[in-house]
Every structure is written in C-alpha cells, then in structure tokens.
Amino acid sequence: MIESALYIVPTPIGNLDDITLRAIEVLKSATLIAAEDTRHSKILLDKLGVGAVKMISCNDHNEEQRAQIIANEVQAGGIVALISDAGTPMISDPGYKLVSALSEKKVKVVPLPGPCAAITALCASALPTDKFLFMGFLPVKDKELTQKLESIRLSDTTTVFYESPRRIMNTLEKLQQVDPKRVVALCREMTKTFETIYRTNVSDLITYLQEHSDEVRGEFVLVVGPHISDEQDDELSDSAKSALAKMITSMKVKEACQIVSDLTGESKNKLYDYALSLKD
Ligand code: SAM
C-alpha cells in the first residue's frame, strides 16, 4: 500500500533493467508524475507499463512554482513521483528547491534508493570509498576549472565529478597541470553497451585517450583519487607488488606491468623497476 507523499524515484542511467520493484510500484500508483522532461520520461514509463497518468514538468526553471501544485496533490491524498531524465533526482538534477519547499510546508517526502552515476562510478573506481566528495559538474571557464581542481590538490578523499565528452580532455589536461601523477578512474557509458572504466594516472589516461579519440564520447564520471604524498609515492602498494610478482611468472614483464598499472594506477616505470629487481 503506497501512502500519500512525494516520492523521489531514481530511474536507470542506461540499462532499463536497473529500476527497483518499489520504484515501479510507486510509478504505477502515482496520481501525478513530476518529470524533468515529460516527453523524455514518457518513453520509460511506457516501457515500464505505467498507464496514463497526469504528468507535469519540474525543472530548474519552474520547480519552486511546482511546489504548490505538488503540495496540494499530496495534501488531497495523492501520490506524487518525482523523476529526472536519468538517475537520482537532485544529484546534479532538479528537485532540491521542491523538496526544500515541501519540507517547509510539512509535506511528507519519501526518498527511494536507486541508480546514481556518481555512486556507480565510485564503486567501480578501485579508489578509496571510506570517504568521498561529490562535486557535480566542473566549471566551464578555464580559470574556475583550474581553481576547482587546485582545491582538491592536497585532498585526502576521493572526489567524484560529472563531465561531458566535449570537456573531458581539457579537464584532464588541467588536472595533469595540477598533479600529473594523480590516480583517476574515468567511468564511461556505465551500464550501457560500451561501458568502459579506465583506471590509471591522469598523464597516462591523456596519452591513451589521445590515441583512442573514438572513445572520447558518451557520458563520463571522473573519479579522482586522494593526494599521494611524495613519501607514499616512493612505495609501490603491497597488492601491486604481489600481483606483479605472480604475473611475471607466466607472462612478459612489460605486459604484466601494463596490466598491474591499469588496475592499480601505479606507475609503469616503477613497476618495471620492481619486476626487474625480482627477476635479478
Ligand atoms: N542525477 C543523475 C544521477 O544520479 O546519476 C545525474 C544527472 S547529470 C545531469 C548527468 C551526468 O551524469 C552526465 O553528464 C554524466 O556525467 C553522468 N552520467 C549519467 N549517466 C551516466 C552513465 N551511464 N555513465 C557515465 N556517466 C553518466
């Protein structure tokens, strides 16, 4: 039994199967669906078998006005679902002003957990997840972009950014200027056919993408690892050392170093030196 409230409903970020049973139940029970773009969401709702339901747009331009309509609907016993084009509403998507206005009006808001590109990328990044900072989209202008990246130069947490294919190379180049050895995970087209996760240091990633420009397309989440101090940097991690030691028993040193570097973000040169010391 779905109670009267505003429900925050995450929707898939690429793979249509990534929607919870509860999200479908709420959408099917809704008396009103507030969508970032009603035409875009109608396609998903049709695929989910959500029948004819009243829909209104709720986006950055009108969400404060929509708050009154949505509050009235819930107060009259209705069930309202808020959805964005993809993923979790409010995470670099509209909804914050609406929830804030409803909270002031003491209208019940129920959040549903579900797909979110930032969390999906963080989990794939192989970077520390014990604490992290989500910074949404980076500024467009170079000066502000560099300032933002400078602000995490000495950060001891993992940082997650959303980025567009048009700007990703420039962003990586600016990050390289700030910290050339920074370990990053670039998560592309997650949950879709061409999903690719690149884990390496920022300089190697730039080289790779320059050589594979056809891969600079689609949607990206950039996950930037914590700052590594020079002392920490001198040491290869134990896991990298032990993986490399095992791998060079059955494959070429160069190949093993490449794989371990891709997986751990450790420098290929350092891995190579270590592998040679083992061979000696
Ligand atoms: N609210 C959404 C969420 O919870 O993921 C994010 C909305 S934001 C407007 C869209 C950005 O999220 C994209 O530009 C991209 O940076 C990231 N994104 C969304 N889907 C993605 C995917 N399948 N793979 C990689 N990044 C994705």
Q: What is the pLDDT of residues 63-80, one digit of tens each?
A: 989 999 999 999 999 999
pLDDT at residue 227 above 80?
Answer: yes
Residue 194: how many CA atoms within 13 Å on its side-chain side? Answer: 9
Give yes or no for residue 90 CB within 6 A of ligand 1: no
Arithmetic mean of pLDDT, 164-173: 98
pLDDT of residue 100: 96
Give yes or no for residue 83 CB within 6 A of ligand 1: no
For the entire predicted model, the pTM comes to 0.84
Task: Say if domain 117-231 classifies as CATH 3.30.950.10.
Answer: yes
Would you list the DSSP string of 166-184? TTHHHHHHHHHHH-TT-EE
Distance from C-alpha of 249 to C-alpha of 263, rounded to nearest angstrom: 18
pLDDT of residue 236: 84
pLDDT of residue 202: 97
CATH class, domain 5-111, is: alpha beta
- Please give the distance of CA 11 from its chain centroid, rounded to a whole number: 14
Q: 């520390």: which residue's tokens?
A: 128
Q: Is 108 helix (H, G, I), strand (E, B) or coil?
A: coil
The amino acid present at 58, given as its one-letter code, is C
- Residue ranges per structural domain of the chain: 5-111, 117-231, 235-279
How far apart are the CA of 219 and the centre of ligand 1, in A? 7
Give yes or no for residue 73 CB within 6 A of ligand 1: no
Distance from C-alpha of 217 to C-alpha of 240, rounded to nearest angstrom: 31
Q: Is 164 helix (H, G, I), strand (E, B) or coil?
A: coil
Q: 């910290």: which residue's tokens?
A: 179
Tens-place pLDDT, residues 96-141:
999 999 999 999 999 999 999 999 999 999 999 999 999 999 999 9
Give yes or no for residue 186 CB within 6 A of ligand 1: no
Average pLDDT of the residues of the chain = 95
Share of the chain above pLDDT 90, in %: 85
Distance from C-alpha of 2 to C-alpha of 30, rounded to nearest angstrom: 9
Residue 206: how many CA atoms within 13 Å on its side-chain side? Answer: 17
Beta bridge partners of 197: 187
By DSSP bridging, strand 183-188 and strand 220-224 are antiparallel
How far apart are the CA of 240 and the centre of ligand 1, in A? 31
Q: 């950055």: which residue's tokens?
A: 60
Distance from C-alpha of 59 to C-alpha of 104, rounded to nearest angstrom: 19
- Give buried/exposed letters for 110-120 (b at 16+ CB in 10 A, else e): bebebbbbbbb
Beta bridge partners of 6: 80, 109
DSSP secondary-structure letter at 237? P
pLDDT at residue 36 above 90?
Answer: yes
**In this structure, what is the dihedral angle of CA atoms 123, 155, 92, 122, given to the nearest 10 degrees?**
0
Give yes or no for residue 91 CB within 6 A of ligand 1: yes
